Amino acid sequence: KSILLINGPNLNLLGTREPHIYGHTTLADVESNSREVAASHGAILESFQSNHEGAIVDRIQAARGKVDGIIINPGAYTHTSVAIRDALLGVAIPFIELHVSNVHAREPWRHHSYFSDKAAGIIVGLGVYGYKVAVEHVCVNFVEKEK
Ligand code: DQA
């Protein structure tokens, strides 16, 4: 029962980056809270952050056959990356797409995502609380169902 949390470029700056948009909670806090929520459901959560597209592709490929669900905030790659989309489809692991901010209330070029039509679910604009919702959803609906 294993979950992989992936955060893309600039999300290592969470908590200090444009706090009026992304809030004050750090990525370290998000990752440790997510691990605790998963543990309370008897699941193991691993987290990964990278600013590099290829590194994210490599991490997704390494999860093949080992992970029940992926939660991914692709950051700016949301709007550009066919490669990360293809990696997720290639490993056939169900995934939740997550954005801290409401991308639909921002610049028009943030409205398109290369992930949304393939995601099991999308969480947008709930701030870092979205990560908790995503982990709980994956635990209850992806992981526990397989028991
Ligand atoms: C983001 C939204 C993206 O448009 C942006 O490039 C990010 C973060 C979010 O979490 O709201 O880096 O994915």
Index of the ligand 1 atom closest to the CA of residue 124 = 11
Q: Which of 77, 56, 59 is nearest to 67 (CA)?
A: 59
Q: How far apart are alpha carbons 112 and 118 in whole angstroms?
A: 13
- 113 CA to middle of ligand 1, Å? 11
pLDDT tens, residue by residue, 13-71: 999 999 999 999 999 999 999 999 999 999 999 999 999 999 999 999 999 999 999 99
Strand partners, 108: none
Q: How far apart are alpha carbons 139 and 46 in whole angstroms?
A: 13
Q: Which of 11, 53, 72, 99 to mutate to test the pocket of ligand 1 (most atoms within 8 A of CB)?
A: 99
- 37 CA to middle of ligand 1, Å? 23
- CB atoms inside a 10 Å sphere around CB 16: 11
pLDDT tens, residue by residue, 61-111: 999 999 999 999 999 999 999 999 999 999 999 999 999 999 999 999 999
The type of residue at 122 is: I
- 146 CA to middle of ligand 1, Å? 31
Q: Are 58 and 42 in contact (CB under 8 A)?
A: no
Tell me the pTM: 0.96
Query: Looking at the annotation, which residues are catalytic?
Result: 22, 99
Index of the ligand 1 atom closest to the CA of residue 98 = 10
ipTM for the predicted complex comes to: 0.99
- Dihedral of CA 50/103/80/130: which sign? positive
Q: Which residues line ligand 1 at a C-beta cut-off of 6 Å?
A: 10, 73, 75-76, 78, 99-101, 103, 110
With H, G, I as helix, E, B as strand and everything else as coil, classify residue 129.
helix
